[in-house]
Homo-oligomer: A and B are copies of this chain.
Amino acid sequence: MENFIFQNGTKIIFGKGTEEQTGSETALYGKKVLFHYGGGSIKKTGLYDKIVKSLNSSGVDFIELGGVKPNPELSLVHKGIDLCREKNIDFILAVGGGSVIDSAKAIAAGFYYEGDIWDAFVGKGRVEKALPVGVVLTIPAAGSETSTASVITNKKITSKQGMEWPVLRPVFAIMNPEVTYTLPAEQTAYGITDMIAHVMERYFTSVENNDLTDHMCEAVIKSIINNAPKVLDNPEDYNARAEIMLAGMVAHNDSLNMGRIGDWASHGIEHELSAFYGIAHGAGLAVIFPAWLKYVSAKKPEKVIQFASRIWGVEYNADNPQAAAAEGIKRLENFFRSMGLAVRLGELGIDNSKFEIMAEKAVMFGERGNYIKLGKDDVLEIYKLAE
């Protein structure tokens, strides 16, 4: 186990009707608030009205900035920063999923940042100060509601990059599973894939002796697997929606990372797919993670065997230990397929024409991964395994 520092002070307000606390929680931090949201689905579902009512009843003065897209864009972040400076905003309320929250965090950091906040995404700037961000979560997936991370896409240069700074951790996260009843099945499945990937990125580490956090990672994935078919069969199964929403938070709140170093290669490899083809992050992960597992299990099968055995119930067979790894990967693929997801690039209509450039971009800041370090040629092989 590695030395570590862990601190996550986000206040989680979880359960039925909790969106009604948005105004009172926001009022603890902000007098002049930016209400940030996405493409307007919150207006259709009625959440928008509830938020406005709650803010008004707590006497919170706010302006709005909607229009955040999946794979949130730098251009809107720039617009948000200008707006916040112009209107003397002191708090950002993000109502949405990971894209809205990440956009809010980037604006919050950019507010105090001299120069272009994109610099901080490409390792050229430090974020020491940010406006406080509060969240009303609508999509369980990214875990951004309690994380220090923000991922933004710069369309001008086809680049999707992330940054992590302690000051980006939201001060509160309001999570009502009922709000997720109206999520399309596809988006539910993408979110579930993203949260499983977040756990797996932490599970696969070169750091040995992490017995407790290994078991905790396995617990989270097992529970997600249990509840995924329930929410897809019955979108209004409160308890199953609650389990999925809670799992998405735990998967990325850093508690599963105590004493270990995550891998994160698959995320990096997927980000190129999202950047080049505009596909949903979860859709890309369902393709890339099995391919990554195949690639690493050929070189270092041990943890993949543990993954297969403890999570998927694959029996260890002394005559052919590697077969357990292969069977575990197959069960993961079957699980993704059972949610209606593609597990090959071809099924997404993506051919091999950009493998070379994507592999190059994936390692533009150096090797990827921790369980196994990956250079450009390794990434290229993984794209081929995903073909």
Given contacts A215-B219, A216-B219, A250-B212, contact A12 B1 (CB under 8 A): no
Question: How distant is A327 from chain B, measured CB to nearest CB, in Å?
Answer: 21
Q: How far is the CB of A147 from chain B (nearest CB, A)?
A: 15
CA distance A18 to B2 in the complex (A): 12
A243 interface contact, C-beta 8 A: yes
Please, which residue of chain B has its CB at the minimum distance from the CB of A250? B212
Closest CB-CB distance, A10 to chain B, in whole Å? Answer: 7
**CB–CB A1/B242 < 8 A:** yes
A258 interface residue per 8 A CB criterion = yes
Q: Is A226 an interface residue (CB 8 A)?
A: yes
Cβ < 8 Å to B, chain A residues 202-223: 208-209, 211-216, 218-220, 222-223
A28 within 8 A of B: no
A141-171 contacts to B, CB under 8 A, are: none
For chain A residues 227-248, which have a beta carbon within 8 Å of chain B? 227, 238-239, 242-243, 246-247
- For A18, the closest partner residue in chain B by CB is B3
Given A212-B223, A226-B211, verify A258-B14 contact (CB < 8 Å): yes
Q: A5-B14, A12-B5 are in contact. Are A215 and B211 (CB under 8 A)?
A: no
Q: Known contacts A211-B223, A255-B255; can you find 4 more A-B pairs with CB under 8 A?
A: A3-B17, A5-B13, A6-B11, A15-B259
User: What is A's interface to B at a CB cutoff of 8 Å?
Assistant: 1-18, 208-209, 211-216, 218-220, 222-223, 226-227, 238-239, 242-243, 246-247, 250, 255, 258-259
- 25 example contacts (A-B, Cβ-Cβ < 8 A) are as follows A3-B18, A4-B15, A5-B14, A6-B11, A6-B12, A8-B9, A12-B258, A14-B258, A208-B239, A209-B242, A209-B243, A211-B226, A211-B239, A211-B243, A212-B243, A212-B246, A212-B250, A215-B219, A215-B223, A216-B216, A216-B220, A216-B250, A218-B219, A219-B219, A246-B258
